[in-house]
């Protein structure tokens, strides 16, 4: 009997052993599957990397608003080639020393850290949306799940011979250029003469040209030397006050009147052929774009706004469908690229068609409030995509602008910015100059404090009928 039991045990035990091993293997497999499942869930939740490339007027509020939208569930990363934010709209105040460059800068690393946003201070050399990554100048690579391109413009000085700080004209497009222009202005004050200011063919940003000219005009009057300085405004716009927008309200009448009052001459429908030291060669065209008149305009100081393109890292990406031929990022009505559905874009780098055909090509400006509306729509739409929904928020693309004219100013509201519009309004007066100073302080405070749109701002603008989302 014992021998039988023993024999049975000897025969059965390997089967048990095999069974135990098999059960163990199945359990281990299940454990791996369960752990992997939870790990996937966990990673899926915390590991979405939302990268914002560019930290200017669009990029910094974008990082703040995105971070507020997703909290700690996802990573928000801000990349900029500059350690500081720059308040670009106040650059025209730098040359006559109404502002120092440092007044317009905010150190980004500490404020981003406080907001829980990773800040990478490096220049991007190539956006690679086919591989969801950005190549950086130091050879490193930043991977992303969502990318928001907010890189502003490349200043296409190379399109007109002699244009820009490396040629013979000053620039206020970047704070560093404005600092150089400030030194040019000091030299000019020692030996004043004619001034030529404006915007060349293909430009899309006209407001700062009017502002800079009127700021200098005010400064010359204050110094009692205006009588020594003939001023000419040269612009690709078809008429004064067009602003790349087909005019807003009565900007044509108001700006023409301001120029007449200040005895400033102008040339519209102007193409700048070339610029030499102290001389600008301009062709004025008629409404059929045929040459009408040649102008040779001598100058002792000049600032001409250039045309813009997308920055090299974006326009040379080689990715079909990312940009238009000028390197501006293509977006649908949700600010999302139609080809790469995890790529969004906000700010001057976005492709917008011209408002209308003009004898000399002009672009559509992308102004501050319009950019803020792109920012809010993008933050909402990425949040929706993270939740597995389709984007549904559309930016209002409204323009609310304050153009400083030295001691007075012109304000306008266009809802939406691109015609036909539901609301157009314009006004002028000293209050605009004061409001522009107030706005600069307010915006800089928001950047320092890490706020995008506080509720009181939202409420106030809502009362005026201005909202960020349609």
Ligand X SMILES: Cc1cc2nc3c(=O)[nH]c(=O)nc-3n(C[C@H](O)[C@H](O)[C@H](O)COP(=O)(O)OP(=O)(O)OC[C@H]3O[C@@H](n4cnc5c(N)ncnc54)[C@H](O)[C@@H]3O)c2cc1C
Q: Token match 């206020």: residue?
A: 172
Yes or no: say if 75 and 48 are a contact pair by the CB < 8 Å rule.
yes
The secondary structure of the chain in percent helix, strand, coil, rounded to multiples of 5, reads: 35, 25, 40
Find the part of the chain contacting ligand X (CB under 6 A) among 28-36, 335-343, 364-372, 410-418.
364-372
Q: How many distinct helices (H) and strands (E) make up the chain?
A: 10, 22
Q: Which two tokens stand for residue 145?
A: 């799940």
244 sits near ligand X (criterion: CB under 6 A): no
Residue 181, helix vs strand vs coil: helix
Cα 310 to Cα 302: distance, rounded to the nearest angstrom = 25
Interaction residues for ligand X, span 407-426 (CB under 6 A): none
Interaction residues for ligand X, span 62-81 (CB under 6 A): 79-81
91 sits near ligand X (criterion: CB under 6 A): yes
Q: Is 401 a catalytic residue?
A: yes
> Of the listed 9, 15, 173, 205, which one is catalytic?
205
User: Which residues is 232 bridged to in the sheet?
Assistant: 196, 265
243 sits near ligand X (criterion: CB under 6 A): no
Cα 120 to Cα 114: distance, rounded to the nearest angstrom = 15
Q: Out of 244, 347, 359, 409, which residue is the one contacting ligand X (CB under 6 A)?
A: 347
Size of the site for ligand X (CB under 6 A): 33
In whole angstroms, the minimum distance from the beta carbon of 351 to ligand X comes to 13
395 sits near ligand X (criterion: CB under 6 A): no
Q: Which two tokens stand for residue 45?
A: 């939740």
Cα 11 to Cα 13: distance, rounded to the nearest angstrom = 6
Q: Identify the CA nearest to 45 among candidates 77, 73, 76, 75.
A: 73
Residue 16 or 442 having the CB closest to ligand X? 442
Interaction residues for ligand X, span 276-295 (CB under 6 A): none
Report the DSSP pairing between strands 270-276 and 265-267: unpaired
Q: Out of 48, 51, 58, 144, which residue is the one contacting ligand X (CB under 6 A)?
A: 58
In whole angstroms, the minimum distance from the beta carbon of 303 to ligand X comes to 10
Cα 450 to Cα 438: distance, rounded to the nearest angstrom = 18
Interaction residues for ligand X, span 150-169 (CB under 6 A): 150-152
In whole angstroms, the minimum distance from the beta carbon of 221 to ligand X comes to 22
Q: Out of 88, 254, 258, 411, which residue is the one contacting ligand X (CB under 6 A)?
A: 88
Cα 106 to Cα 113: distance, rounded to the nearest angstrom = 14
Q: Out of 52, 89, 250, 363, which residue is the one contacting ligand X (CB under 6 A)?
A: 89
Cα 128 to Cα 131: distance, rounded to the nearest angstrom = 6
Q: Out of 48, 66, 173, 213, which residue is the one contacting ligand X (CB under 6 A)?
A: 173
Residue 207 or 238 having the CB closest to ligand X? 207
> Of the listed 15, 30, 349, 401, which one is catalytic?
401
In whole angstroms, the minimum distance from the beta carbon of 189 to ligand X comes to 21
54 sits near ligand X (criterion: CB under 6 A): yes
Residue 303 or 386 having the CB closest to ligand X? 303
Yes or no: say if 284 and 269 are a contact pair by the CB < 8 Å rule.
yes
Residue 205 or 216 having the CB closest to ligand X? 205
Residue 175 or 220 having the CB closest to ligand X? 175
Contacts of 291 (CB under 8 A, 6+ apart): 283, 284, 285
In whole angstroms, the minimum distance from the beta carbon of 220 to ligand X comes to 20
Count of all residues that appear for the chain in the document: 470
Cα 302 to Cα 230: distance, rounded to the nearest angstrom = 12
Q: Identify the CA nearest to 327 among candidates 127, 143, 142.
A: 127
In whole angstroms, the minimum distance from the beta carbon of 109 to ligand X comes to 13
Q: Is 9 a catalytic residue?
A: no
Q: Which two tokens stand for residue 140?
A: 């490193």
Find the part of the chain contacting ligand X (CB under 6 A) among 31-39, 54-62, 326-334, 382-390.
54-62
208 sits near ligand X (criterion: CB under 6 A): yes
Cα 160 to Cα 172: distance, rounded to the nearest angstrom = 17
Q: Out of 348, 351, 382, 418, which residue is the one contacting ligand X (CB under 6 A)?
A: 348
203 sits near ligand X (criterion: CB under 6 A): no
Residue 201 or 226 having the CB closest to ligand X? 201
Cα 172 to Cα 90: distance, rounded to the nearest angstrom = 9
Interaction residues for ligand X, span 2-41 (CB under 6 A): none
Q: Out of 401, 405, 413, 415, which residue is the one contacting ligand X (CB under 6 A)?
A: 401
Cα 399 to Cα 334: distance, rounded to the nearest angstrom = 18
172 sits near ligand X (criterion: CB under 6 A): yes
User: Which residues is 155 bridged to in the sheet?
Assistant: 308
The CA distances from residue 315 to 127, 132, 143, 154, 328, in Å, are 9, 16, 19, 10, 7
120 sits near ligand X (criterion: CB under 6 A): no
Residues that bind ligand X (CB under 6 A): 53-59, 79-82, 88-89, 91, 123-124, 150-152, 172-173, 205, 207-208, 311, 313, 347-349, 367-368, 371, 401
Active site residues: 205, 401
């Amino acid at each position: 009997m014992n021998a039988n039991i023993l024999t049975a045990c000897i025969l059965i035990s390997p089967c048990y052993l095999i069974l135990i091993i098999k059960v163990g293997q199945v359990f281990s497999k299940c454990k791996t599957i369960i752990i992997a499942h939870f790990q996937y869930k966990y990673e899926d939740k915390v590991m979405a990397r939302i990268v914002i490339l560019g930290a200017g007027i669009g990029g910094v509020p974008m990082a703040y608003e995105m971070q507020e939208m997703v909290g700690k569930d996802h990573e928000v990363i801000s990349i900029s080639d500059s350690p500081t934010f720059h308040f670009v709209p106040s650059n025209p105040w730098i040359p006559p020393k109404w502002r120092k460059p440092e007044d317009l800068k905010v150190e980004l690393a500490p404020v981003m850290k406080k907001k829980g946003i990773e800040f990478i201070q490096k220049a991007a050399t190539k956006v690679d949306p086919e591989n969801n990554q950005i190549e950086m100048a130091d050879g490193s690579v930043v991977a992303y799940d969502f990318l928001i391109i907010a890189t502003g413009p490349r200043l296409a000085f190379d399109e007109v011979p002699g244009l820009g700080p490396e040629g013979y004209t000053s620039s206020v497009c970047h704070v560093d250029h404005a600092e150089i222009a400030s030194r040019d202005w000091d030299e000019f004050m020692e030996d004043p003469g004619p001034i030529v200011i404006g915007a060349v063919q293909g430009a899309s940003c006209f407001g700062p040209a009017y502002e800079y000219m009127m700021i200098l005009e005010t400064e010359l009057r204050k110094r009692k030397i205006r009588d020594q300085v003939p001023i000419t405004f040269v612009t690709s716009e078809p008429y004064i006050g067009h602003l790349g927008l087909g005019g807003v309200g009565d900007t044509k009448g108001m700006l023409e009147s301001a120029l007449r009052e200040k005895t400033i001459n102008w040339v519209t429908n102007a193409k700048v052929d070339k610029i030499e030291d102290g001389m600008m060669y301009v062709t004025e065209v008629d409404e059929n774009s045929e040459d009408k008149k040649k102008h040779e305009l001598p100058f002792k100081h000049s600032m001409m706004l250039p045309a813009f393109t997308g920055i090299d890292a974006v326009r040379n990406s080689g990715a079909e469908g990312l940009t238009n031929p000028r390197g501006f990022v293509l977006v649908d009505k949700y600010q999302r690229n139609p080809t790469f559905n995890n790529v969004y874009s906000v700010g001057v780098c976005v492709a917008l068609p011209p408002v209308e055909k003009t004898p000399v090509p002009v672009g559509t400006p992308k102004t501050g409030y319009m950019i803020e509306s792109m920012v809010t729509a993008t933050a909402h739409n990425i949040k929706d995509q993270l939740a597995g929904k389709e984007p549904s928020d559309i930016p209002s693309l409204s323009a609310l602008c304050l153009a400083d004219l030295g001691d007075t100013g012109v304000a306008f509201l266009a809802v939406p910015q691109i015609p036909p519009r539901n609301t157009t309004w314009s006004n002028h007066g000293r209050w605009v100059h004061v409001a522009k100073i107030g706005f600069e302080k307010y915006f800089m405070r928001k950047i320092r404090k890490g706020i995008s749109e506080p509720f009181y701002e939202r409420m106030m603008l809502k009362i005026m009928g201005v909202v960020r989302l349609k």
